[in-house]
């Protein structure tokens, strides 16, 4: 029963992380390459979704539209709220990665006649995405745990199941919560192990993805400098 409910958490995870990726990469690109008003908009997006607690976002997306006659299901609202939130964090990761790619790469691509978009598509992004994997793994293990927050707006995920049990069999509360904890231990560490394998498979000679976080960090510093 728990395992079945966990599938709902995994569904949430898949939805929100893909939404976060699909929105986060363009936001990062706009922040690095966009014209000024777009850059500001992208930064405002990132700032808002990173600065507001997940629960507040969940309530906004679940109850907010209903007030204007648009009723989203709790599941959809959760994917939107947590997915947009993740897009804020993911855009920061990808922005750092993009900025850590040496400028010479873009220059060389442009010098052979690639358009800016081609250079981003064929030269910058393939490198930046590889660099981003370790930081992205952190984001993964953080959002997989945050799927439990959907409980707050009544998504029928694993914690709701535990509540049913705990309400009926008082003495089973602790074992039930511990079981859920165990499930998540397996999911987070298992997920990280898988991502680690992916990272090694994609690894290229001379492309130090270990230590990539420092490079991304340096990219972020550059971003901070530029923003000042």
- Is 46 one of the binding residues for another protein (CB under 8 A)? no
Give the SS3 label for residue 152. helix
Nearer to another protein, 141 or 156 (CB): 141
Q: How many angstroms separate the CA atoms of 118 and 120, rounded? A: 5
Q: How many angstroms separate the CA atoms of 158 and 175, rounded? A: 14
Could you say which residues in the range 75-114 bind another protein, by CB under 8 A? Answer: 102, 104-105, 107-114
Report the nearest approach of another protein to the CB of residue 199 (Å): 14
The stretch among 12-20, 28-36, 70-78, 214-222 that binds another protein (CB under 8 A) is: 214-222
Q: Indicate which single residue of 10, 38, 166, 209 sits in contact with another protein (rule: CB under 8 A).
A: 166
b/e string for 63-74 if b means 16 or more Cβ within 10 A?
Answer: eeeeeeeeebeb
- Is 69 one of the binding residues for another protein (CB under 8 A)? no
Q: Indicate which single residue of 80, 146, 155, 212 sits in contact with another protein (rule: CB under 8 A).
A: 146
Could you say which residues in the range 126-145 bind another protein, by CB under 8 A? Answer: 126-127, 130, 141, 145
DSSP 113: T
Q: Is 201 exposed, middle or buried (CB count within 10 Å of its CB: 0-12, 13-18, 19+)?
A: exposed
Could you say which residues in the range 171-210 bind another protein, by CB under 8 A? Answer: 171-174, 176-178, 180-181, 184-185, 188-189, 204-207
Report the nearest approach of another protein to the CB of residue 21 (Å): 19
Q: Indicate which single residue of 27, 32, 54, 212 sits in contact with another protein (rule: CB under 8 A).
A: 54
- Residues touching another protein: how many (CB under 8 A)? 72
Report the nearest approach of another protein to the CB of residue 221 (Å): 6
Helices 125-146 and 173-202 cross at an angle (nearest 10°) of 170
Handedness of CA 169, 172, 174, 176 (dihedral sign): negative
Nearer to another protein, 75 or 151 (CB): 151
- Is 56 one of the binding residues for another protein (CB under 8 A)? yes
Other C-beta atoms closer than 10 Å to the C-beta of 202 total: 13
- Is 211 one of the binding residues for another protein (CB under 8 A)? yes
Nearer to another protein, 94 or 146 (CB): 146
Report the nearest approach of another protein to the CB of residue 11 (Å): 16
Alpha helices in the chain (DSSP H): 2-33, 36-51, 54-67, 74-99, 103-111, 116-119, 125-146, 158-168, 173-202, 212-227
């Amino acid at each position: 029963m728990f395992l079945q409910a966990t599938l709902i958490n995994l569904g949430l995870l898949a939805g929100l992380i893909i939404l976060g990726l699909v929105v986060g990469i363009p936001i990062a690109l706009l922040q690095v390459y966009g014209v000024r008003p777009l850059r500001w908009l992208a930064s405002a997006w990132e700032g808002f979704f990173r600065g507001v607690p997940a629960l507040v976002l969940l309530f906004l997306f679940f109850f907010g539209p209903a007030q204007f006659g648009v009723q989203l299901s709790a599941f959809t609202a959760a994917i939107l709220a947590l997915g947009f939130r993740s897009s804020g964090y993911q855009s920061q990761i990808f922005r750092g990665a993009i900025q850590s790619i040496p400028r010479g790469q873009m220059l060389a691509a442009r010098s052979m006649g690639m358009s800016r978009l081609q250079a981003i598509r064929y030269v910058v992004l393939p490198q930046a995405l590889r660099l981003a994997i370790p930081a992205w793994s952190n984001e993964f293990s953080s959002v997989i745990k945050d799927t439990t927050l959907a409980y707050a707006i009544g998504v029928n995920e694993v914690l709701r199941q535990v509540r049913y049990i705990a309400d009926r069999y008082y003495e089973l509360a602790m074992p039930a919560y511990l079981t859920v904890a165990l499930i998540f231990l397996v999911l987070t560490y298992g997920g990280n192990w898988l991502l680690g394998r992916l990272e090694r498979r994609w690894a290229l000679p001379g492309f130090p993805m270990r230590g990539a976080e420092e490079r991304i960090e340096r990219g972020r510093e550059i971003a901070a400098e530029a923003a000042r």
